[in-house]
Structure formats: structure tokens, C-alpha cells
Amino acid sequence: MIGVVCLIVGSVNLRNLTFLSVDVSSGEWELVGNLIGGRTYVLYIESSDEWGEPFKNGDFVEAQPVNVTITSPNGGVTKLQAFFYGLPSSSPYYKEGTPPAIVDVTYQLVDNSSLQVDAPSSRIRFNAKRDGNYTARVLEEGLWAKSPPNDMIFYEEVIPNKDLYTLLVLGGGLSAVGGGVGSVWGGLGKKSVKRTKVHE
């Protein structure tokens, strides 16, 4: 029971993630961020107004891929497609000014020496394995619009009370495993008890 409580508390803490803006570029195809190894980052891409027009007009009814590369400090390259989706203006949920957003991310090539990616995911999220400049670039190739994204931002993912979270999850996991083993052992123990009939 203690293990379950610890895991629940840990998961609640995980939902309280905060995101710190590290580097930003506006109206550019490229973003360079000085990232720190061992930390987790999210690359946010806000599409331009031009990107949203085909969705708004109903020309696109499915998510559309945008080619993105992330070049690591050692020169290694990660290639991915971020799929953007926007609502048509005829939708009751459509809201003027809301740009198409990333709904899925697929990776074609990952520089495993510098990045540990989060896949499958609806975000461009990764763990940096080394310090240095990481360059994210939206490729014009295959893009249905000529304008660059409105904004590109590297966010650092921060867990409040990270040490407490790690302790709770680790303790909760061990307690849950211990409890499960104890239950199985107890069940087997009960089955192994033999009753003998006393003859008078």
C-alpha cells in the first residue's frame, strides 16, 4: 500500500512540471540553444499564420508533416517529422488565431551519442547527453508554406523537488515490488500447508 501511495504522489508531482525558456528565435528557420547534458528539453515550434490557412479553409483534413533536424554539438544529426494539425473554420471548436499544433512526432534518424528521444510522442522531447550548442532547423523542403515558423523555443523541463520525486518513485516502486513478492510468497506458503488427519 505504501508503494502505491508513493507512486501516486510521484505521478502527481510529475504533472506539476515547469518549463523554463532557454533560447528563442522568432520568424527564423533556425534556433540555436546552449543546452546542458543530463537535462530534458522540449523543442516548441509555433506555426506561422500562413501554415494555418489550408487547415482553416478545409483543404487539409489530416495532420501534415514538417521536416525538422537537430544538430548536436558533435555534428551528429537527428532527423524527424513533426505532424501539425489545425481545425477548419467550420468546426464548432475552431478559435480564430489558434495556430496548427504538433500532434505527433516520428524520427527517421537519431544521434544516439548526443540525444535520447521521447518516442512515440506528441512533443519534440529529448534528453541531452552532452553540453553545447544544439541547432534545430525547420526545413523548407516539403513545407506547404513559404514562411518560417512564428517562434521556435527550447524549453528545459524541470521537476519541482526532483530529489523527493526520485525518492518517492524509487521507494514506491521497491515497496510495490516487495509487496507483490510478499503476496505471492504468502499465497504459495498457504498452498504448501498440508493437513494431516489424526487417527484415534
The Cα angle at residue 103 between residues 79 and 148, in degrees rounded to 5:
60
For residue 171, pLDDT over 90 is answered with no
CB atoms under 10 Å from CB of 10, counted, come to: 20
- Where do the domains of the chain lie, and which CATH numbers do they carry? 1-17+160-187 (no CATH), 18-158 (2.60.120)
For residue 185, pLDDT over 70 is answered with no
pLDDT tens-digit readout, 91-129: 999 999 999 999 999 999 999 999 999 988 999 999 999
The pTM of the full predicted model, rounded to 2 decimals, is 0.74
9 contacts 136 by C-beta, under 8 angstroms: no
The one-letter amino acid at 42: V
